[in-house]
């Protein structure tokens, strides 16, 4: 995936040595050019496997090295110990292991008792860099070498057993309940035969073929300048040189400043020379151009976010042992001002952002980068704006001394406007403050090596109130494309035909809705008819003329001419 970088390991270089002779003659010269370099794959050389658990291993057939054993491989790890490989017999064995972060051990037994050879490195071997191990054993002696360290040799006894008799399988990684190796092994050669680690790893749980590294695939998740650090079974993000925190360096580190509170970060602490601050704090950078043996800065990178409702105030101020300074201010009208005084001009060079009120209580992000005479400012989500120092201005910030947040408490003469803005001081939130490689707020709120450089007046309370997402003020009606009265807005349908695709989709949706409604109506009609199926008109044998008769009996007699029954008064029934 990546075809660039530094080849720092000598044995990986295509040319390891150039010898030029016959240099004593007057006027003789020699010129050597190397290149272009062609990358060419070596399957055996890069045949690798990654061991991701301490119990994972690969197994191969028994190692045949009765009278001679020659083992070599490369490894890289961040673990402090683990077994590289082991092969056992009844009493005989051979084993290579990482005993500690600085020790590699080669041990064996051919029947004369265990023998161990240890190579100790002055530097840690668990630095996630490739290291080479070469172990040999024959009837005369045994040796072990790690990288370019001195060869350790152990003579074999003049009498005794000489044959190494092994019966078990060869285990690469954990064996017999021991803690296995965690990391990558490649180019494992045993008596001239390269073991196919990749092919065996494809079918072995806990082992992965290849060794591309987790940072190759996931390093982009370390945000805001965080450095990806390889782990044997994953990766981590080093946020120590950023103003952020958290697993992926995305958590803002900020604080709330009460009125009158201030923070000072000294670029050098008591007991250290001024020159030390250059190499260890202020100028520590991956950029090789940022070096200043004379304590002068030719470039700065400044970024932070803030929120406040009070103005004027001093947000950030960088002082020096000379009249030079850099200041970020909020003036009485609430506008942002960035002030450079690098010498060569009568007055400081000011960058004024007049058209935006920054003291509105909303979080605002400020990024300022200076490289020589060129200055680039980015405010919030707006595009970057370029500025340039006057032609007469110096381009070096001489002898930086301290960085102040909230208020300037400095000995000596201070700019008159900054002196006025100092009272009563900044009230609000500051977050993710970073000046080059210095994060003063993080140094104050997190225990780091730079904490001794920080002095605080007042109580510093951690808060993310300055790091909330930016709230964009409402757009005016003239520029809002969704405002109905906007004459400049272009709407997708304004009395004009819409494209065929839109019509087709609308017709399909309308048809589906119509079918659903029709189905619901039919279902309702069926249910109503079913519920009221016994109701309706019916016929009775009620006598005609019942409407005009005095009683039901009279209606019957009037309707039936054959009805001759007479009612006897004596037979009437009375209800008392």
Give pLDDT, residue 162: 84
Secondary structure, 3-state, 210-221: CCCCHHHHHHHH
List residues bridging with 428 in a β-sheet: 257, 308
- Rounded to whole angstroms, the Cα distance separating 308 from 254 reads 14
Beta bridge partners of 320: 400
Backbone angles phi, psi at 170, to 5 degrees: -85, 120
- Indicate the SS3 state at residue 500: helix
CA angle 78, 81, 85 (to 5 degrees): 110
The residues facing 190 across adjacent strands are: 71, 193
pLDDT at 528: 85
C-alpha distance across the termini of the chain, in Å:
117
Indicate the pTM of the whole model.
0.54
Which pLDDT does position 26 carry in this prediction?
82
SS (H, E, C) 175-212: CCCCCECCEEEEEEEECCEECCHHHHHCCCCCEEECCC
- R_g of the chain, CA atoms, integer Å: 44
List the domains of the chain with CATH numbers.
44-209 (2.60.120.200), 216-244 (no CATH), 253-270+296-462 (2.60.120.200)
Bond prior to 36 in cis (omega within 30° of 0): yes
d(CA 403, CA 297): 14
The pLDDT tens digits along the chain (576 residues) read: 556 667 666 666 667 778 877 777 888 777 788 777 776 666 677 788 988 888 888 999 999 888 899 999 999 888 889 999 999 888 889 999 999 999 999 999 988 889 999 999 999 998 888 899 999 999 889 999 999 899 999 998 888 888 898 989 899 987 777 888 888 899 999 998 899 998 999 988 888 888 866 777 677 888 888 888 876 567 789 888 888 988 889 888 999 998 888 999 998 755 444 444 444 444 444 433 333 334 678 899 999 999 999 888 999 999 988 889 999 999 888 899 999 999 888 889 999 887 778 888 889 999 999 999 999 999 988 899 999 999 899 988 988 999 999 888 887 778 877 888 888 889 999 999 999 888 999 988 887 766 778 888 888 888 877 665 544 455 555 555 555 554 444 444 444 444 444 456 777 888 889 999 999 999 988 888 887 765 555 555 555 555 555 665 665 566 555 554 444 545 555 566
Tokens of 189: 């050669």
Helix (H, G, I), strand (E, B) or coil at 504: helix
DSSP result, 276-310: HHIIIIIT--S-TT---TTSEESEEEEEEEEEES-
Nearest Cα to Cα of residue 11 among 147, 202, 135, 127: 147
Place of tokens 């001419």: 561
Q: Give the model's pLDDT for residue 84.
A: 93
pLDDT of residue 541: 56
Cα separation, 276 vs 511, in Å, equals: 79
Check residue 463 and give its pLDDT: 84
Distance, CA of 168 to chain centre: 45
Query: Cα(492)–Cα(502) distance, rounded to whole angstroms?
Result: 11
What per-residue confidence (pLDDT) applies to 27? 80
Q: Please, where are the H alpha helices in 372-486?
A: 416-421, 440-445
Euclidean distance between CA atoms 326 and 317, whole angstroms: 6
Query: What is the Cα–Cα distance from 114 to 91, expressed in whole angstroms?
Result: 10
At 494 the pLDDT is 42
Tokens matching residue 504:
């087709």
């Amino acid at each position: 995936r990546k075809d660039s970088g530094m080849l720092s390991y000598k044995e990986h270089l295509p040319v390891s040595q150039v010898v030029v002779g016959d240099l004593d003659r007057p006027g003789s010269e020699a010129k050597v050019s190397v290149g272009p370099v062609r990358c060419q794959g070596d399957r055996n050389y890069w045949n690798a496997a990654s061991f991701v658990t301490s119990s994972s291993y690969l197994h191969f057939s028994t190692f045949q090295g009765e009278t001679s054993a020659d083992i070599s491989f490369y490894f890289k790890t961040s673990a402090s110990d683990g077994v590289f490989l082991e092969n056992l017999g009844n009493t005989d064995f051979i084993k290579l292991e990482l005993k500690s972060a600085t020790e590699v051990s080669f041990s064996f037994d051919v029947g004369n008792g265990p023998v161990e050879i240890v190579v100790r490195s002055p530097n840690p071997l668990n630095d996630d860099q490739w290291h080479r191990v070469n172990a040999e054993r024959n009837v005369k002696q045994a040796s072990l070498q790690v990288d370019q360290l001195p060869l350790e040799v152990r003579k074999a006894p003049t009498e005794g057993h000489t044959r190494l008799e092994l019966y078990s399988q060869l285990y690469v990684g954990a064996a017999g309940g021991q803690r296995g190796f965690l990391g990558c092994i490649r180019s494992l050669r045993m008596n001239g035969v390269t073991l196919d680690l990749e092919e065996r790893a494809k079918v072995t749980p806990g082992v992965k073929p290849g060794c591309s590294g987790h940072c190759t695939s996931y390093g982009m998740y370390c945000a805001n300048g965080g450095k990806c650090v390889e782990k044997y079974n994953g990766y981590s993000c080093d946020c120590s040189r950023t103003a952020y925190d958290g697993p992926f360096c995305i958590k803002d580190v900020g604080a709330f400043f009460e009125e009158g509170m201030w923070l000072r970060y000294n670029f050098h602490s008591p007991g250290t020379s001024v020159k030390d601050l250059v190499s260890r704090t202020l100028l520590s950078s991956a950029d090789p151009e940022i070096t200043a043996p004379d304590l002068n800065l030719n470039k700065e990178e400044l970024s932070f976010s803030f929120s406040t409702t009070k103005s004027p105030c001093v947000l950030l101020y960088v002082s020096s042992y000379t009249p030079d300074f850099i200041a970020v201010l909020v003036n009485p009208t609430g506008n942002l001002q960035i002030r450079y005084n690098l010498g060569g001009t009568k007055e400081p060079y000011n960058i004024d952002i007049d058209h935006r009120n920054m003291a509105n209580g909303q979080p605002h992000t400020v990024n300022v980068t200076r490289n020589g005479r060129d200055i680039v400012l980015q405010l919030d989500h707006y595009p970057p704006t370029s500025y340039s120092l006057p032609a007469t201005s110096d381009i070096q910030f001489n002898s930086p001394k301290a960085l102040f947040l909230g208020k300037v408490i400095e000995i000596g003469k201070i700019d008159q406007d900054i002196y006025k803005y100092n009272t009563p001081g900044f009230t609000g939130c500051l977050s993710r403050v970073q000046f080059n490689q210095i994060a003063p707020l993080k140094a104050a709120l997190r225990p780091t090596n730079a904490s001794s450089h920080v002095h605080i007046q007042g109580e510093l309370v951690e808060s993310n109130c300055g790091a909330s997402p930016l709230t964009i003020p409402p757009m005016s009606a003239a520029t809002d494309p969704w405002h109905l009265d906007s004459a400049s807005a272009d709407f997708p349908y304004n009395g004009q035909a819409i494209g065929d695709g839109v019509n087709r989709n609308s017709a399909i949706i309308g048809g589906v809705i119509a079918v659903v409604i029709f189905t619901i109506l039919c279902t309702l009609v069926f249910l109503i008819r079913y519920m009221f199926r016994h109701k309706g008109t019916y016929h009775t044998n009620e006598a005609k003329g019942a409407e005009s008769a005095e009683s039901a009996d009279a209606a019957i007699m009037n309707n039936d001419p054959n009805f001759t029954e007479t009612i006897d008064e004596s037979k009437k029934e009375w209800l008392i």
